Structure 1
Amino acid sequence: MQGEPVRLGVVGLGFMGQTHATNASELGHEVVAGADIVPDIRENFETKFGARTYEEFETMYENEDLDAVAVSTPNAFHEDAVVAALGHGYDVLCEKPLADSLEAAERMAETAREADGFCMVNFHNRVSTAAELFKGYQDAGHFGDVRHIRANYIRSRGIPGVGSWFTNEELSGGGVVVDIGVHAIDFALYLMDFPPVETVFGVTRNQFGNRDDYVDPDDWYDATEEAVFDVEDSTTALIRCADDRTISLEAAWATNEAESQEFVVRGSEAGARLDLGGDELTMLEAKSHGPDHLVESTVSDASIDHVGWKGSDKRFLDAVVAGQSPEFNTIEQALTTQRVMDAIYRSSESGGCVEVGEKR
């Protein structure tokens, strides 16, 4: 189908489903159909995109002539929608995390290995000016041997609406680790070129989600009598990779600390500082031109087209048009990230360091 617009189906028509549909339309592709169990959401999607909608994604797969599918359901339903789409030969963009459990993620990856189509996972924060700058300098050898990354994704107060699926472990598979921690883990591994991960020590906490006196200046939190909050709201972890490379992780929906999405990279020749999804790269170096001295320089006058969600959607749709599996945001990389998340939970439960890859 080289050169032709992609015929896209969307599973899960909430905010992210509509985001994928909007981006596809703006990029010149055709939103053919959507599936969601909620009638009002289907009706809204039909009106907004002029697409046919279905209650069940299986019916959409059977009835529609699609090239690709974007899956943006709650995490617990990723596996069924993705596996069925791959079974039909479609290329698939799956929302992060890959699944609600390591077992489900492994089954999805196994299916993708045998499928005609490919599965890409929507880690959209990789598509930023800061990340592209870092990778350019890294490929040129500027940082030397990267040995450690300090990864932060911290909200002072930002627990998603209680009563939504984000705070219900049955639907999400976890709390802050699988919602925003997953971005920090993936991005750190990406900056380190995805070395093999060996062991993890992690702690998860629930300090704010069930408090009656929770303070919420930006109105993220909407507690009701039916609300479920049975997940963690912060985590700290140390991830040890091959050759003694390490990642230290701090992720929080709520904590008494300033907000941060800062990543600090330590290399043998230079270091770097950049924000997740940011547009500036700061490099930190020691020089001996004249007296020994330290140099801190910031690149801030560069930009790339189509960052974030739209940039990720474009890379997916371009790969569909080209008929080639992308080497970016691959399902195997997402599986590695899923294994790290699983290890954080196992470590927190056991109180000790755990090997990555074992079943929870």
Structure 2
Amino acid sequence: MSIKIGIIGAGGMANYHVPGFRQGGGEVIALCDVNEAAAQKAAAKHGITRVFTDVGVMLKTMPELDAVSVIVPNKFHAPLALQCLAAGRHVFCEKPPALSAKQMAQMLVAAKKAKKKLMFNFNNRARPESYAMMDYVASGAVGTINTCQARWIRRTGIPGFGGWFTTKALSGGGPLIDLLHMIDLGLFFMGYPDPAHVLARTFDTHITDKSFKGPWGIPDVANGVTDVEAAAHGFITFKTGQAMSFQVSWAEMNQREEVSVTFQGTKAGGMVRRLFGVDGIDATGIDSCELYSQEHGRPVNRSILVPPDEAMGRIRSAANFVRAITGAEAPLNTPEQALALMRIIDGAYKSSATGKPVAL
């Protein structure tokens, strides 16, 4: 029996969720958005027959729905996930998991109570490079990862001014919460150790300078709010003795956009990286997956060759959700990991506000 799925939100990420769910063997049978015209347009594009403007109505009138996909501004992730879990549906939610660790904890409890899958689109775990690197980590070839550097840095990548991305009440913050992928991927490689402390600083330099706007065509909102950071830098320690530094930005004087995790293990180091020739344009990306070791007294660098994936794991991540429901694959992420990640993000914002390390 195939898994039947409803999409909540007619945004661009449906372009990845829908084919991903279908690749995993699921059926996408409904789409809901408060903007009926947008919902009708997206449904027609993806061949979805049922269209709704109210989530409650969709859940009530379509008991055959097994799962939902949440593709809406960050503020609504937790409320919609909680609503759908309470209605007995599995949930696949866009990142970030929620606006805070408190909300994420509520979602975890709700998923356990409902006995349903709650997963998030941490799509960089599903990139071919990440799958390949995890094979080496799982085999023991890397040993224990002592330290890790996580980076998603942009030179001109502010996603519009005055819209929900730059309004903290709707987004939860700027690049720290928006570009959390590399922090998550580094934690994934490290075994998701329990965080102990975080020290961080955020910077709002350039956040109102329109020459730093990203190339995605997101419109500015006249008289809208822009009250989030442009960049965040920090350092995390873990109860295991491991450590991670991170650098995330929408607007900094970098050479080029870089999306990367570099780590140092007891047996080998490694790197997964994408470099963009033009900020935010995937077609210009250069992907690398490398291992660094010492063999026979000599440094050895290995390039791991994998198929290209311009979707950066987004389709594969959605497919994994369906396969996790059916038991065909292990889930790529868990609510417990999402909670640990949100604790780190909350702590980083608190550390920046207080100027002190924060115990987690």
TM-score (norm 2): 0.90
2:101 is aligned with 1:90: no
Distance 2:9 2:90 in 1: 16
Correspondences of 1:66-81 after superposition (within 5 Å): 66-81=65-80
Unmatched tracts of structure 1, length 5 or more? none
Partner residue, 1:52:
50
Is contact 2:175-2:249 (8 Å) kept? yes
Unmatched tracts of structure 2, length 5 or more? 275-284
2:355 is aligned with 1:351: yes
Correspondences of 1:100-139 after superposition (within 5 Å): 100-139=99-138
Go from structure 1 to structure 2 and tell me whether the alpha carbon gap of 1:51 and 1:18 turns closer, same or farther (over 3 Å shift).
farther
Go from structure 1 to structure 2 and tell me whether the alpha carbon gap of 1:255 and 1:38 turns closer, same or farther (over 3 Å shift).
same
Deviation at 1:85, TM superposition (A): 1.1
Is contact 2:163-2:221 (8 Å) kept? no
Q: Secondary structure in 2 aligned to 1:33?
A: strand
The letter for the 2-side match of 1:196 is D
Distance 1:173 1:22 in 2: 29
Partner residue, 1:246:
243
Go from structure 1 to structure 2 and tell me whether the alpha carbon gap of 1:175 and 1:306 turns closer, same or farther (over 3 Å shift).
closer
Deviation at 1:155, TM superposition (A): 0.8
Partner residue, 1:318:
323
Deviation at 1:225, TM superposition (A): 2.5
* Alignment equivalent of 2:228, drawn from 205, 214, 231: 231
Partner residue, 2:148:
149
Distance 1:124 1:199 in 2: 26
The letter for the 2-side match of 1:47 is A
Deviation readout 1:81-132 (Å, 9 max, x if unpaired): 1111111211110111111122211111111121121101110000122212
Deviation readout 1:301-355 (Å, 9 max, x if unpaired): 567999611101111011223398x442111111111111000000000001001
2:179 is aligned with 1:194: no
Q: Secondary structure in 2 aligned to 1:24?
A: helix
Greater mean deviation of Cα atoms: 24-33 or 115-124:
24-33
* Alignment equivalent of 1:268, drawn from 246, 266, 269: 266
Report percent identity of matched pairs: 29
Partner residue, 1:38:
35
Distance 2:236 2:229 in 1: 19
Go from structure 1 to structure 2 and tell me whether the alpha carbon gap of 1:207 and 1:306 turns closer, same or farther (over 3 Å shift).
closer
Deviation at 1:164, TM superposition (A): 2.7
Partner residue, 1:218:
215
Is contact 1:157-1:253 (8 Å) kept? yes
2:309 is aligned with 1:309: no
Q: Secondary structure in 2 aligned to 1:112?
A: helix
Distance 2:4 2:214 in 1: 42
Aligned residue pairs: how many?
A: 347
Q: How well do the aligned residues superpose, as a CA RMSD in angstroms? A: 2.3
Distance 1:81 1:221 in 2: 24
Deviation at 1:279, TM superposition (A): 5.5
The letter for the 1-side match of 2:347 is A
